[in-house]
Structure 1
C-alpha cells in the first residue's frame, strides 16, 4: 500500500480506478475541498477515518498532507510493450519521456505533471538510481501520477533501442546540441532528460538520434532538470499542435 497525501492528489486518486482502502482526515480540516473528498469517498463506499492532525503529521512522508491522507494500492508500473500500445490505441504519434537517473522526487513529480499537461504517452525510468513513485512524487505531481503511465526498465539504452525499433526518434538534451526550437520535433518522439548533476550518460547520448539544447545567456550554466524538461516538452507540444 502507498500513502497519497494532499487534497488534489487524493481527489485525482478518487476519480481514477485506484483501489483506496481508507482516507484519513484531520478533525480540524473542514473546508470545501475536504468536504468534497469526504463526499466522493462516501459515494464510493470508502472508509473515512477522522484523526488528530498530529497523527497525520506522524505518518506523513511528504510533510505536506494538507489534512488528508489516502491509503491506496501500490502504483502499477507499465512495461515497455504496454507503453508502446498506448499511442497506437489513440491513433497518435508516440510521445515519450526517458529519464536518465533523475533522483530528486520533486523533479520527477514536476515532470509527471508537465507530461500530463502536454499529452505525453508515458515516462520511462531506470529501476536503479532513480526516483520512483512515492508519496512525495505523487504530491509534487498534483495528482498527475494517476494519469501518466510510468515504465521501469532494467537498462535505459535497451529501452531506447526498443523505441527506435518501433519508429520513435530519440532526442537527447545536452549543451552541445542544436537549439531546441530550431529542430523538427514532430512525429514519433522520445525526449531524454539527464540527471540533475551529470546530464545524460555517454552510452545514452550515443544512442540518441540528435541532441538539442536550451539557449541561455545568464551566468548560471544549467537549468533545473524538471524546468529544462518542461521547456522542451512544450516546444514538442507546440510543434505537434501546429502540424495537426
Structure 2
C-alpha cells in the first residue's frame, strides 16, 4: 500500500511539473525537478513490477540469456527441485545416460498432449520418461520460456539433479578404454558455449576422458549441456580435487608412460607442427584459455607444444593471431585421432 501511494504521488507530481515545463515561465530549477522525479519514477515502477513477478533462481547468472525475459506469477510456475535442462538432445541423452542422481519431471508444451503433434524426438522423450516412471507435465510455452531462462527449449524442459562427476585418484593406474588412451585437460576454459562445443567435439571424436580442474573452470550447467548438444550427459568426465593441481596430474600422467601435449602459438625447442605429430602412446592434450594460455608452470611440464599452422599471408595473421578454443580443439583432436588410426 505504501509503495502504491508513493507511486501515485510521484506520477501526480511528475504530471504537474511536465505541464509547468510547457509554460514559457518555467525555471531551470523546475526542469531539474522534472528530470529527477522522472528518473525516480522509473526506479519505483521497476520495483513495483518486480514485486508482482517471479524470476527463476536456478538459471540466474548463466550466459546465453535470450533476447527477452518472461515474467510469470509464482503461482503459475512449477516448483523446481534441481536444475532445468532444455532442448531435445540434452533431455534425451540425460535420460539415456542416467548419470544424474534425480529426475524429477519432464515439462512438455501442451500441444504435445496429442501424439500427432509430436516429432520423433519428442515422442522418444515421452517413451523414455514412461519407461523410467518420470512424470510428464503439460505446460504453456510461456512457462517453458521461463523455466529455460528464455533459451531455445524446443518445447521440452526437464527438472533434474546435478550431474555427478567422479573425482580423480592419483593412486589408480591409467585405465585404457582404448589401445592408445587420449585424454583432454581443460585449463581455465570458462565460457559455457566454448566449453560445451569442446565436449561435443571430444565425444564425437572418441576422447576417452575429459579432466576438469577444481577451480577456474566452467560450471557444468544446463547451458553447457545445450551447447554440447547433450554430450555433457554422455562423455566421461573426471574432476581434480581441491588439493590436486593440474601440474600434479600431468606429472602422474607422465609416470604412467604417457606424454603431455600443450598447445600454443609461440615457437620453442619443444614446438611441433600439428601435421608432424603422430600419437604413439597415452596422450593428454591441454587446452588453455584463449587470452592467458597455459601459463609458464603448466607449459613447462609439457613434453611437446603443438601448433596449428596459420595462413601464410602476413596481413591475415597480423589481424587474427589465434583460433577460438573450441575450433582449435576440433582441429587438434581430429588430427591426433587420425594419426593414431593411420599408424595402425
TM-score by length of 1: 0.92
Query: Using a 3 Å threshold, how does the CA distance of structure 1 residues 170 and 221 change in structure 2: closer, same or farther?
Result: same
Q: Distance in 2 between matches of 1:65 and 1:224?
A: 26
Q: CA RMSD in A?
A: 2.0
Structure 1 match to 2:109 = 26
**3-state SS of the aligned residue for 2:216?**
coil
1:1-244 matches, cutoff 5 A: 1-18=82-99, 19-28=102-111, 30-32=117-119, 33-61=121-149, 63-81=151-169, 87-88=175-176, 90=177, 92-153=179-240, 154=242, 155-176=245-266, 177-217=271-311, 218-219=316-317, 220-244=320-344
Q: Which structure is richer in relative contact order (CA contacts within 8 A, separation 6 or more)?
A: 1
SS at match of 1:103: coil
Q: Which has the higher strand share?
A: 1
Indicate conservation of the 8 Å contact 1:28/1:53, yes or no. Answer: no
119-128 or 187-196, which deviates more: 119-128
- Could you state the TM-score of these two structures normalised by the residue count of structure 2? 0.66
The whole-number CA distance in structure 2 between the counterparts of 1:49 and 1:240 is: 48
Q: For structure 1, which runs of at least 5 residues remain unmatched after alignment?
A: none
What is the rounded CA distance, in whole Å, between the counterparts of 1:46 and 1:17 in structure 2?
12
Kept in 2: contact 1:186–1:236 (CA 8 A):
no
TM superposition shift of 1:230: 1.0
- 3-state secondary structure, aligned to 2:158: strand
More displaced, 109-118 or 17-26?
Answer: 17-26
Q: Distance in 1 between matches of 2:326 and 2:173?
A: 26
Alpha-carbon distance in 2 for matches of 1:91, 1:216: 31
Say how many residue pairs are matched: 243
Cα deviation per residue 1:131-169 (whole Å; 9 max; x = unaligned)?
021001001111111221222223211121122222221
Runs of 4+ displaced beyond 6 Å: none
Which of the two has higher C-alpha Rg? 2
- For 2:150 and 2:88, how far apart are their aligned partners in 1? 13
